[in-house]
Structures are given as C-alpha cells and as structure tokens.
C-alpha cells in the first residue's frame, strides 16, 4: 500500500483540441462569428495552424449566414494576415473598419503596429486617430510612443508632457517616468 511507481503520461493536447474544434465547426457552432473569432485567436496566439485559423477568421467576417463585419472580427482577420506576413491585406481589412473603431480600438491598433515594428503604419494610424478624435489623452499618449519610436525625442516629450496634463492621478507616475526617459533621449517603447 506504500509502493509508489512514477510514470509519465504524455498527451498531444494541440492535436486533440484541433480535431475537436474541426468537429465542432462543422455543426451549428461553426456558423457563429464569436466562436470562429475565439478559435482563430487561440491559434494565432499559439502561432500554429495559421492558414486554417485565417480561414476561420475570414469566415467570421464574411461567412453566410452569420458572418459579421465588425471591429473584433475584422481585427482578428487582420491579425491572421499579420501572423503570415501578409501586410497589404491586413492593412486593407483594417482600413475598412477603422472608420467605425472607438478611440481605444484605434489607438490600441496603432500601438500594436509599433510593437510589430511597423512604424510607418503606426504613424498613419496614430495621425488618423488625432485627426478623428483630436488631442485627447489616448491619442497624445500614443503619439508620444510613436515619436519616441521614430527617434524624435523632442516631439515625443512634447506629447508626453501634454499627456501628463490630462492624466489621471494613477497614470501620472508612469508618464512622469516616460518623460524622464525622453529627456535622456531614451526610447519609451
């Protein structure tokens, strides 16, 4: 009764999940955009099965009868294209949906382009956000990161200072830290 025997059990979870997903998407669940977005994002995050996940993301936007062209479905489709280094179609999808994006979606997308090192695209998006929403907190904060990425520390500092003026008390410490970095000509990204 006190004998312990160690043994190892290995299971190929990814294959099991993928096969189960394929089964599920053949039925009614395969018509719901939300399900298609969720499973596409799962595989985009895992960076595996990208072509099939791109197909699901495309179906979430355009599939009949329940495809939905909204920010969430379109952003998921664009992420799939980005994962596959297909930037022209990713940009095209996003250009079609950005006019309907909220300020958070717009600036979040711009910041995402910075993280992907797509600086020119980030500039286009962030300047578009400024044109559409004005010099509000989210936009000018995003612009401080953009100009920092461009190496224009004086312009980044200008926007970071404006951001500090509009910041909540909780955000002031991190913005002040960014301002100090920019004064020392250090990238805040």
* Phi, psi of 66, deg, nearest 5: -115, 20
**Alpha-carbon separation of residue 17 from 10, 21, 73, 79, 156 (angstroms):** 15, 6, 22, 21, 45
Q: What is the mean pLDDT of the chain?
A: 92
Rg (CA), the chain: 21
Question: Per residue in 160-173, pLDDT tens?
Answer: 999 999 999 999 99
Question: Per residue in 108-120, pLDDT tens?
Answer: 999 999 999 999 9
Question: Per residue in 4-57, pLDDT tens?
Answer: 888 787 877 777 777 777 777 776 666 678 888 998 999 999 999 999 999 999
pLDDT value of position 31: 67
pLDDT value of position 67: 81
């Amino acid at each position: 009764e006190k004998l312990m025997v160690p043994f190892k059990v290995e299971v190929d979870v990814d294959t099991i999940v993928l096969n189960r997903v394929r089964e599920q998407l053949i039925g009614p669940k395969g018509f719901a955009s939300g399900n298609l977005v969720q499973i596409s994002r799962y595989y985009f995050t895992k960076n595996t099965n990208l072509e099939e996940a791109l197909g699901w993301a495309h179906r979430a936007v355009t599939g009949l009868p329940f495809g939905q062209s909204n920010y969430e479905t379109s952003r998921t489709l664009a992420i799939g294209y980005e994962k596959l280094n297909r930037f022209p179609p990713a940009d095209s999808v996003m250009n079609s949906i950005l006019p309907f994006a909220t300020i958070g979606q717009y600036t979040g997308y711009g910041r995402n382009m910075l993280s992907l090192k797509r600086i020119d695209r980030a500039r286009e998006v962030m300047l578009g956000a400024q044109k559409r929403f004005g010099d509000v907190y989210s936009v000018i904060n995003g612009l401080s990161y953009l100009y920092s990425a461009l190496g224009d520390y004086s312009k980044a500092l200008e926007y970071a200072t404006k951001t500090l003026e509009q910041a909540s008390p909780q955000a002031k410490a991190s913005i002040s830290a960014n301002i100090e970095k920019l004064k020392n000509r250090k990238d805040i990204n």
